[in-house]
Amino acid sequence: MKESKENIISLFYIQHLKVKEIAKKVNTTSAYITKIIKQDVRYNEEKEFRKIKSKEKRKIDQNNFIKNKRLQKKMDDDFMAVQKQHNQAVMELSKSKHLSNENYRKWNISAYKYNSLKKRFEFDSKLGRSADVPKYIKER
C-alpha cells in the first residue's frame, strides 16, 4: 500500500498528472487519490502552480481563438467581395450576347484614348486591331 501511495504522489507532483488520470492508471477512485495528495506538504504549492499554468493556457487558447475568428472573418469578407465582383461581371456580360461599343471600351479601357477635339475615344493604333474592334467610339 505504501508503494502505491508513493506512486500516486510521484504521478501527481512529478509528472503533473490530473487526479482522474491517476485514478484510472492506479485503478482506484479519484476521492482516494485526492485524500492521499492532500496529505502531502507540497499540495498548496502544486495547486497554485497548476492554477498559474491553467491561466496561461487559457490565455493562449483565447488568443488563438480570437486570431482564428479574425482570420475566418477576413476570409469570409474576401470571398464575399470576390463573389460580388463575379455577380457584377455576370450581370454586365449576360445582358446581351453582343457587347456594345461603349461596354467594350469600358472593358478594354487601356486600348482607347480620348480625343477632346473630336469628342470621341480612339483605338490606339500601336496595339494593332482586328476588323471587328471599333476604331473609334463617340462620346455619349
C-beta of residue 123 within 8 angstroms of C-beta of residue 129: yes
- Encode pLDDT of 39-72 as tens digits: 999 999 999 999 999 999 999 999 999 999 999 9
Q: Which residues contact 42 (CB under 8 A, 6 or more apart)?
A: 13
Position 97 scores a pLDDT of 65
pLDDT, mean over the chain = 89
Which cell goes with 105?
471600351
C-beta of residue 37 within 8 angstroms of C-beta of residue 12: yes
Q: Is the pLDDT of residue 96 over 70?
A: no
Assign 91 a pLDDT band (cuts: 50, 70, 90).
confident
Question: Regarding predicted confidence, which is higher, 75 or 5?
Answer: 75
Question: Regarding predicted confidence, which is higher, 95 or 112?
Answer: 112
Phi, psi (degrees; rounded to nearest 5) at 30: -70, -25
